[in-house]
């Protein structure tokens, strides 16, 4: 994977690119338009520069989890779209203190050796967000590289934005998030060993915490899951939450894969959130909970069997 974790000390082959610059945390229609502008300016060749960690994580470390994709998934998707390279620009105290001109000279010109930059219309950069797209265009003219500013892209009747995607997921609207993302949102993680309560109840689950990924609305979902090493997506039903019936604990994604037997502990699992079925709730008995689980599974099967 052609990923560089810095803008300094790059090989000559990685410098001099047409670059799409931004956070690219959702890879929604707006992000894809910025990448397409970089591709056109680079006559079919382009790279992507993003920030790691995201500036929000640096400035507001106490915020709830907000990442739409883990960096590895984001980078893989960017490269799969045709980008030659991903530059993860280290966002730290040094970069946060750069002026807008200092960022352009130090990072873009001296570091990446850019020939062209494409950004979204609302891109901000430099200390205190002092720089904007028009300022970048002015600096580009002065320092010898081109700039394309991509205007607002509409998606689902509104601005295509990572904020809108997060809001949809937290509202229990994975279908809306999928429309903006261009495909289902995927939660991924390594399956953890647990108390095996699901197995005792006839619904064995593969469990993992979401960590830095955004936490969707607690409740039950129709899902598709892909096991590490497999190519196909398997239908299933999942609960994300604190399982108030069997004991409150930190939020966990528990995925029951239909018609699957086997040990998944320690293996990576990708889970597509397809449809929200119901909120998480406390049951008066395990029998009532199992009865509802059967209903949830039947509803999930019906949804997942419907084309489109």
Active site residues: 254
Q: Which helix (H) or strand (E) holds 291?
A: helix 286-305
C-alpha 83/C-alpha 48 separation (Å) is 7
Can the peptide bond before residue 53 be classed as cis, meaning omega within 30 degrees of 0? Answer: yes
CB 68 within 8 A of CB 26: yes
CB 255 within 8 A of CB 269: yes
C-alpha 48/C-alpha 76 separation (Å) is 12
C-alpha 208/C-alpha 192 separation (Å) is 6
C-alpha 282/C-alpha 139 separation (Å) is 58
DSSP state of 110: I
Tell how strand 252-257 and strand 206-208 pair up.
antiparallel
CB 8 within 8 A of CB 50: no
C-alpha 218/C-alpha 276 separation (Å) is 9
- Determine the 3-state secondary structure of 115 from DSSP: coil
Q: Which residues contact 268 (CB under 8 A, 6 or more apart)?
A: 188, 189, 190, 191, 228
């Amino acid at each position: 994977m052609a990923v560089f974790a810095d803008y300094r000390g790059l090989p000559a082959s990685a410098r001099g690119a047409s670059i799409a610059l931004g956070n690219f945390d959702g890879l929604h229609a707006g992000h894809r338009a910025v990448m397409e502008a970089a591709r056109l300016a680079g006559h079919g060749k382009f790279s992507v520069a993003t920030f790691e960690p995201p500036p929000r994580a640096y400035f507001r470390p106490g915020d709830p989890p907000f990442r739409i994709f883990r960096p590895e998934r984001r980078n893989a998707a960017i490269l799969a779209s045709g980008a030659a390279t991903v530059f993860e620009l280290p966002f730290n105290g040094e970069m946060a203190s750069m002026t807008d001109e200092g960022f352009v000279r130090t990072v873009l010109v001296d570091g990446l050796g850019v020939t062209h930059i494409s950004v979204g219309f609302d891109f901000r950069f430099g200390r205190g967000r002092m720089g904007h797209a028009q300022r970048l265009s002015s600096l580009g003219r002065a320092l010898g590289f081109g700039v394309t500013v991509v205007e607002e892209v509409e998606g689902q009747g509104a601005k295509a934005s990572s904020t809108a995607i997060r809001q949809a997921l937290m509202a229990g609207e994975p279908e809306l998030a999928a429309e903006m993302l261009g495909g289902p949102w995927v939660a991924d993680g390594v399956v953890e060993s647990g108390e095996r309560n699901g197995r005792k109840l006839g619904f064995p689950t593969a469990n993992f915490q979401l960590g830095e990924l955004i936490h969707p609305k607690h409740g039950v979902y129709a899902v598709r899951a892909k096991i590490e090493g497999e190519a196909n997506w398997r239908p299933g039903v999942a609960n994300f939450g604190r399982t108030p019936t069997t004991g409150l604990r930190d939020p966990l994604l528990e995925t029951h894969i239909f018609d699957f037997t086997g040990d998944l502990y320690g293996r990576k699992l990708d889970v597509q959130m397809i449809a929200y079925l119901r909120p998480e709730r406390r049951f008066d008995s395990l029998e009532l909970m199992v009865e509802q689980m059967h209903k949830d599974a039947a509803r999930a099967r019906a949804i997942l069997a419907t084309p489109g």
